[in-house]
Structure 1
């Protein structure tokens, strides 16, 4: 798998109260394939393209690690160094909305808000 380039948008998540219903909505409207992702006592959903089955997005329940996230599409942007980027967020008038969280064995992320109020997640690996 090719390593993501710094500055690239690599994933999108939608966090909502009714993830199963919303995943079915996007499956019907866009044609995405839906695959359940076991989260312990519930399932979130990975969405993939119909032809190549490339994973492009997630539809997640607003609970567990996503309980504090807003109900909106959240893009994940790769940065070189998460801590340095978070310092820049604060220095430039933005806000860090979540604690740093583990994304994978080698990757961490945080959700930020820019000075205009737009929200995204940034991560490194």
Structure 2
């Protein structure tokens, strides 16, 4: 762990009911490659199993896990903390819940899976390596909620994150920052159900229009587009073939 990473998102896991369909989707849309590592004591379920690392330009920034191992489907961001046990205890005190108690990931560090007071899944991590947080595959994170709700006190106490005042931006576009660094955007989406509260990553793509066209012609779907300038789009909320949400963002 390095102090520079504390409070920042350092990893993502995708929990999916169909690993091969997820791999094909992000390969086609974002150009990801994959490395399969065989674990003798797999963190998500125990015993021997394979863990798929998603890479881009030689940098690993995410893992893909079969949903059979965890009763959850979707993306989970991991935030670096100084002490996993203390942070997990704090989360419960603040109204969150522990979904998977602190556990070791051999050669990587110690993790824990949590839910915030509104129900969004996220992880905390203490890295046992000096690699910087990966940046090639992901842009800003998004906190997706139908009405723009966000447990700001929870995340401020957990990680020192601050939500920009409502007067600075529409409720659907308020920024979540650590000191002066913007980490995420609060995203209120009418295209999703009222009870869908989740952390949703921004997946970097080389050319946004091409990515959206590929998704529309694949088993996935484009749910909304956010206009950046005339006839161009900054990002799109999409659903992959397994039903998992993400934003695709111009790299």
Q: State the TM-score, normalizing by the size of structure 1.
A: 0.82
Residues 73-84 of structure 1 correspond to what in structure 2 (within 5 A)?
A: 73-84=75-86
Q: Distance in 2 between matches of 1:58 and 1:104?
A: 14
Counterpart of 1:100 in 2: which secondary structure? strand
Kindly report which structure 2 residues correspond to 1:45-84, keeping only aligned pairs within 5 A, or say none: 45-49=52-56, 52-63=57-68, 67-84=69-86
Residue ranges of structure 1 left out of the alignment (5+ in a row): none
**Which structure would you say has the larger RCO, counting Cα contacts within 8 Å and 6 or more residues apart?**
1
Deviations 1:66-97 (A, max 9, x none): x2251110111110111111111111111011
Which entry has the higher C-alpha Rg, 1 or 2?
2
Q: 2:102 aligns with which of 100, 103, 120?
A: 100
The equivalent residue for 1:85 is 87
Structure 1, 25-34 or 101-110: larger mean CA deviation: 101-110
Moved over 6 A (4+): none
RMSD in angstroms over aligned alpha carbons? 2.1
SS at match of 1:80: coil
Number of positions where the alignment pairs a residue of Structure 1 with one of Structure 2: 119
The answer to whether the 8 A contact 2:85-2:102 is kept is no
Structure-1 separation of matches of 2:50 and 2:30: 21
